[in-house]
Structure 1
Amino acid sequence: MDLNIYLTFDGRCEEALKFYAQALGGTIGEFHRFGGSPMDDGKMPAEFKNRVMHGRVEANGQILMGSDAGPGQPFQGYKGFTVSVNVPDTAQGMRTFDALAAGGQVTMPFQKTFWAEGFGMLNDKFGVPWMVNCEAQQG
């Protein structure tokens, strides 16, 4: 079984997934647009045709997916969850944290904690909440 994160955006999905691919060292797997899809029944508003109906980023064997909110499905923001990234060492943790924080808001700086060699929290420039964690080495 796989458990994946699926985010919805308000017209910025393509920009966001490209940002995540770069920040996480991943690649864009695919983009499907509303225009030309079965949902494009000739009544779809023109401003939705180029929006992303489904997109995918693959990074280190993990998958992050997303789409733009479709017609009749207003975007309602992000609440009640945080995307968590676990990294193997603090140098990668700091790089990942800084990349995701670019243009966003740091809510807890990346630092050593009682459970981790490095941990930090942020809301990225799209408003998505993230935690970056590098657990303490067992030894």
Structure 2
Amino acid sequence: MAMRLTPYLLMDGNAKEAIQFYEQAIGAKVLEIISYGEMPEMPNTFTSELKNLVAHAKLQIGDTDLMFSDNPSGSPIQKGKQITLCITTNDAEKSKQIFEALQQGGQVNMPFEETSFSPAFGDVTDKFGITFQVYTES
């Protein structure tokens, strides 16, 4: 089973600008960008401005990945949420074990379940206030 730990940056509507900056400043290579408008489960009430925000982006910097998304709510980003850690596995059962362990004494932000982008995904803040996204690759 493979497992990786990747920093995930939550941006305040300027993820595209940050991505372009990191491309120029440190030679980041864009691997993927998906807007909220491209996500099948997003509400039809999203304005065109919100639909153009980044729902998920993945960059490669050397041998390391860096991921981004924009905060779609327009509200300030909560303390402890601007940088989260994404734990990626290729085993849904292992991902579930990790998620369940991290939620002990913590708070579930998004239940562990199948999504349009992962067969098993959840978002949890542990008892120390660190937020983890547990992501399973297909």
| Alignment TM-score, normalising by the size of structure 2 | 0.51
Identity %: 31
* Structure 1 residues not aligned, in runs of 5+: 83-139
SS of the residue corresponding to residue 44 of structure 1 reads coil
CA 78–12 in structure 1, closer or farther in 2 if over 3 Å, else same? farther
Partner of residue 43 from structure 2, selected from 37, 41, 44: 41
1:19–1:68: structure 2 CA closer, same or farther, 3 Å change rule? same
TM normalised by structure 1 equals 0.50
C-alpha RMSD of the superposition: 2.7
Q: Could you tell me which of 64, 68, 80 is aligned with 2:66?
A: 64
The residue aligned with 1:110 is: none
2:20 corresponds to which of 18, 21, 30: 18
Unmatched 5+ residue regions in structure 2?
A: 84-138
User: How much has 1:34 moved relative to structure 2?
Assistant: 0.5
In the aligned structure 2, how far is the partner of 1:11 from the partner of 1:35?
14
Runs of at least 4 residues off by over 3 Å: 77-82
Deviations 1:44-78 (A, max 9, x none): 1332010000011101110010000023x723266
Higher relative contact order (CA 8 A, sep 6+): 2
What does 1:1-139 correspond to in 2, within 5 Å?
1-71=3-73, 74-76=75-77
2: CA distance, partners of 1:13 / 1:79: 18
